[in-house]
Amino acid sequence: MKKGIELSLNEYEALLNKAAVGSGLPWGIAEDAAACGAWFMSCGVNKLNTWIDRLKDNSFWIDYCKKIDQPSSNKLNNIFDLAASVYVQPDTKVKLDSYEWNGWELIIDGVKQTTSFRACLSETQFKILNELAQKTYAPATDESRLSGAGAGLSDND
């Protein structure tokens, strides 16, 4: 295992989703932001720090979602725009700077990227994402504990 943190891609996308909600993005926008971040990771696009920075900017993600919803409004200026074209419509073919999506895989600087189902991130990145995700969890209280399944019942039978 590489130094740092390794997650399954599913686990990573769920963490990104919670981090996005914890940052204040609406639920539906967070779903698309997380899908975008997971797509970056699966295709070898090293943009997690940028993705995290963007969480501070609701309007960025609202514009991003508009590009997904109406592809004709999507003028490709950066890798996020390319992601907006591709991850919901993977049979699209697009080129942008050093990136090329040929309809099924990403090519970066002429090198085909192998799709990965693992996410590798630094401990710092993991910590930041978890701190944001933590904002979506309710504090542990006695009252809250009573609203979980199995509360107040004997398990020894």
Residues 6 or more apart in contact with residue 45 via CB below 8 angstroms: 39, 79, 83, 99, 106, 108
Residue 2 in 3-state DSSP?
coil
Residues 6 or more apart in contact with residue 69 via CB below 8 angstroms: none
Q: At its nearest, how many Å lie between another protein and the CB of residue 42?
A: 9
CA distance 151 to 135: 24
Q: Which stretch binds another protein (CB under 8 A): 49-57, 92-100, 106-114, 132-140?
A: 132-140
Nearest CA to 93 out of 105, 110, 81, 80 is that of 105
Q: List the interface residues with another protein, window 22-81 (CB under 8 A).
A: 26-29, 31-32, 35, 58, 62, 65-66, 68-70, 73
Q: At its nearest, how many Å lie between another protein and the CB of residue 109?
A: 26
Binding site for another protein (CB under 8 A): 1, 6-11, 26-29, 31-32, 35, 58, 62, 65-66, 68-70, 73, 88-89, 117-118, 134, 136-140, 143-145, 147-151, 153, 155-157
